[in-house]
Amino acid sequence: MFDQFAEDHRVVTTDVREMSVDLMTAPLKDEEKDRLECIKRDLDLERKKFTEAAVRLGKEKAALEVCLS
What Rg, from alpha-carbon coordinates, does the chain have? Answer: 26
Q: Which helix (H) or strand (E) holds 35?
A: helix 16-68
> What's the pLDDT tens digit per position in 7-60?
665 555 555 566 677 777 888 899 999 999 999 999 999 999 999 999 999 999
pLDDT of residue 50: 98
| Nearest of 5, 2, 3 to residue 22 by alpha carbon | 5
Using a cut of 0.85, tell me whether the model's pTM lies above it. no
Of 27 and 64, the structure prediction assigns the larger pLDDT to 64
pLDDT of residue 36: 97
Q: How far apart are CA 36 and CA 51, in angstroms?
A: 22
Strand, coil or helix: 53: helix
Q: How far apart are CA 56 and CA 49, in angstroms?
A: 10
pLDDT category at 65 given cuts 50, 70, 90 is very high
